[in-house]
Structure 1
């Protein structure tokens, strides 16, 4: 139950990645909306069948990570063409490589889980809004990209850390334990990028 609630919160956090007060009106997710959504997600997780709960928990984890990878890849592809800083472009190239590998590793782990699950890789509505904000950032592209990367990696690190500590032993927990170290490194690098 705790894992399901935390996955709901982490999913919302990843969905809201990159939303901040410096973005144009209409692109930021309000704290009240996130809090309300988290409460609704927590209230919905009331199943009593442990296997069913575990399958749902695994599916939500896999979908959240897959969406995070997809957002990282797509936003970094934009950075390859729109960023002005070489450091930002180099970071974006690394993000494409590392998150493509992460997606492949996640798919293998998800298929090896019991029960197995499939990764959807569909972006959330908030991630689509963030991509649009990035496309339209103009001269502020590097700043918006870096802010989104920091937020996305903070949320991913929290999700992976929690799942590696509380997820059921198996391939998905192993994936989370291995990947949290990589994501921590990405976060450190993103925080040092010029804006």
Structure 2
């Protein structure tokens, strides 16, 4: 449980920061919202999360493109089933590909682009009721750490954005930033993100 909780959270924050550094307009909108909502001199707290719709949209969009666990907990067919023309025999192990669902062009406009705005006017949530968006799974096997992840992702990411100015490190530019994935139990960046913080003015 410790590994699952820490690895997935750090992976999601790394992806969010990479996407924001690739999309400076989104970074600027998130920073402006934080400054407007909590002020320049106060630290972000859990009680602020509900008043930050753009930050919430950034987290949701990150989880859509980069679900921390690309293949959800396996299911097993209890009966012989026919689903969308496919015959699934009883006792078949079924793996749900959350990564592919989040990039499905039948469910999402411009599915490969990072657009937090798509969630601003949307009721979609990651609590397992909307099957086109299930980064934490659904039903009885939904991630038990969802509530903790919700708080950690928003507070950690929001604090990093609010407290610091960020730029890519080394010789990396937005054009050369490697966004390839290394698939395993979690979906990490193939090349770890190198970002340099400076204290905001």
Same fold (TM over 0.5): no
Larger radius of gyration: 2
TM-score (norm 1): 0.29
TM-score (norm 2): 0.28
The structure where strand makes up a greater share of residues is 2
